[in-house]
Amino acid sequence: MSYDAVVLISFGGPERPEDVLPFLANVTRGRNVPPNRLAEVAEHYQHFGGVSPINQQCRDLLAAIRSDFAAHGLDLPVYWGNRNWHPMLADTVAQMHHDGIRSALGFVTSAYGGYSSCRQYLEDIATARSAVGPDAPKIDKLRQYWDHPGFVEPHAAAVSAALATLDADRRESTRLVFTAHSIPVSMAASAGPEGGRYEAQLRETAGLVAERAAPDLPYDLVWQSRSGPPQVPWLEPDVNDHLRALAAEGVTSVVVSPIGFVSDHLEVVWDLDTEAAATAKQLGLDFVRAGTPGTDPGFVSMVRELVTERLNPADTAPRRRLGTLPAWDTCPDGCCLPVRRP
């Protein structure tokens, strides 16, 4: 199948104080989030002037992708649309239709399988196309990339850089702590046809990053950014609880690496740089938060690689992967069915 565009699809975020509550209403619609939790999250945004970093990060990534495409002779326009705030994906799809785009590839700023991280984006695409009408451009989501070198290696480099800032004499009591967005236990159990897809991919990424950055150090995968009703079980432990446990074990230094994310958006700068850093300070732990891929050249090149894979389906060269879990492409039914290869 031929494609005549690429669209960057992301979560979106407010860019003015008055955007915060309408944005959060979009995010939480139908999820029964308690009002006090909504007000608490709104204060997180207001702490930064009501501006989420994510939209500017998407603009930066968009510019980097366009530049990389041009440098490598890939003549495809690149659009950008969000799930929860402007530019809304439906508006972007309408613009693509106006520009004569018939079929596009979608790159989502989430590397993993599961409902919120994969299948909901497929639903967003379907909703946006329905809003535009029967002649809306077709959009096929690119594959998940939790174990692609362009995702793993920037995370590993960031962990290495963070470790270099800590006291080398304390290395034996240093721990790597990988974080990702917590989700309800029931949602984690149903992620993928066989269940557990989200956790399994994250655990593989954590192992791949740790192996490259510090194979001598122990590491853990923990969770952050819980937002649901307190009576609903979510993945645990929370990063703050885990830091307390590590301090009790005699750990002196931690590098926290948000492998669940591609950029330093608000859930990174608030939940980790603000809350988790404060917890570590109270405990007397040396704390460094590793960076995310952002616009790292390897990550940007990865986007082009994922596009060219789909543009050249007859190419039987192995896809660039570092892990051992099955490689999956996306599908609306099981949030991800096996890739069929020649």
Residue ranges of the annotated binding site for Fe-coproporphyrin III are: 52, 121
Q: Measuring CA to CA, which residue among 124, 170, 158 is closest to residue 8?
A: 124
Angle CA 32–38–42, to nearest 5: 155
Q: Is the peptide bond before 313 cis (omega within 30 degrees of 0)?
A: no
Binding-site residues, in ranges, read 52, 121, 181, 267
Binding-site residues for Fe(2+), in ranges, read 181, 267
Q: What span, in angstroms and rounded, lies between the C-alpha atoms of 1 and 277?
A: 48
Measure CA of the first residue to CA of the last residue in the chain; give whole Å: 16
CB atoms within 10 A of CB 339: 11
Q: Where are the beta strands (DSSP E) in the chain?
A: 5-10, 78-82, 103-108, 138-141, 174-181, 219-224, 253-257, 286-289, 328-329, 337-338
DSSP state of 118: I
Contacts 24+ apart (CB under 8 A), 184-191: 184/228, 184/232, 184/233, 184/234, 184/235, 185/233, 185/234, 185/235, 186/233, 187/114, 187/115, 187/116, 188/114, 188/235, 190/115, 191/113, 191/114, 191/115, 191/335
